[in-house]
Amino acid sequence: MELNNVKLVPDVGKDKLVDLYKQMWTIRFFEEKVDEFFAKGEIHGTTHLCVGQEASASGACAVIQEQDKITSTHRGHGHCIAKGADVNKMMAELFGRTTGYCKGKGGSMHIADVEKGNLGANGIVGGGIPLAVGSALTAHMKKQDYVTMCFFGDGASNEGSFHEALNLASIWNLPIVFICENNQYGMSGPVKDMVNVKDISERAQSYGFPGVKVDGNDIVEMMNTTHEAVENARSGNGPTLIEAKTYRWKGHSKSDAKKYRTREEEKEWKDKDPIKRFAGVLIEAGIFTEEESKSLRSEAKQAVEDSVDFAKEGPMPAHEDLLNDVYA
């Protein structure tokens, strides 16, 4: 299939493209709703939102198979939704209800859905990278046909876990794809002050496998590049590091006032809104009309509203449940 003279490499049909557009809106509305309830004090703890980064999660997960695995980050709601998570159970988890993925005990940074291949979000910067390599090593040793996709941020690329994990993945030739979502800031520090290379993807050269940079706000480019990397890994040709250049519209976490960046910079990136960009591509390609795109947007918004109702109806954990599912 071609979209505006760009060949779409993965076998993605019209229905899948429509689903991806709706999925991106679901991620956007989920994050905005979570932001709203944190501001009201109805959700506690902290959260890290991925508004503006929807294309990297949806594009990458669109080209993997059901048996493939992912590891996520503290900014992981988009990855979870893109890998097929139930937004009702996700919202219930954030509200601390027993109907949530972790029975209300994990919160935003600990959502996992092993049945769907989501090995979990992680509150530790770079914490999911060695876990992903462990998953890929399992596939390699047991000769199982799955690829592991490892999401992390630009800040995690400076952690020791990143370098150790990439080295092991390389020397063992593991079926893994590393995806660095470079949203330009590690907490409040701009990436240009934290990394002394032009592109984080260049670091793959140190470990002897391909490193590729992509426009992380272009879901078509994201799908094409990730598809090639996934098939390369599945064929026994080892890892790839993909750097998706994108931008988070919100602060690092709910307590971040974003005083370290300008409104001009924010506007520049919001003009590159990945969802509106994808809508334009699909409308021009005749996949749907503008009115149909608005209808899909409304359906996504309603699904998130329904998830809030589901969450609020769920019971809180009882005192006697405090030590259940806890291990040392």
The answer, yes or no, to whether residue 4 has pLDDT greater than 80, is no
- For residue 296, what are the contacts with CB-CB under 8 A and spacing of at least 6? 18, 21, 22, 25, 288
The tens digit of pLDDT for each residue in 224-254 reads 999 999 999 999 999 999 999 999 999 999 8
> Residue 7: pLDDT band by 50, 70, 90 thresholds?
confident
The answer, yes or no, to whether residue 206 has pLDDT greater than 80, is yes
Torsion of CA 244, 122, 133, 248, to 10 degrees: 0
3-state secondary structure of 141: helix
Determine how β-strand 176-182 pairs with β-strand 148-153. parallel
| Domain chopping of the chain, boundaries | 35-263, 274-308
Tell me what pLDDT residue 271 has: 97
As a whole number of angstroms, the distance between CA 31 and CA 20 comes to 17
What whole-number percentage of the chain has pLDDT above 90? Answer: 91
CATH number for region 35-263: 3.40.50.970
- Are residues 187 and 153 in contact, defined by beta-carbon separation less than 8 angstroms? no
The tens digit of pLDDT for each residue in 111-163 reads 999 999 999 999 999 999 999 999 999 999 999 999 999 999 999 999 999 99
The tens digit of pLDDT for each residue in 51-92 reads 999 999 999 999 999 999 999 999 999 999 999 999 999 999
Element (H, E) at 189: strand 189-190
Tell me what pLDDT residue 326 has: 81
Instruction: For residue 328, give both structure tokens.
Output: 């040392």
Tell me what pLDDT residue 217 has: 98
Closest CA to 293 of 98, 35, 109, 25: 25
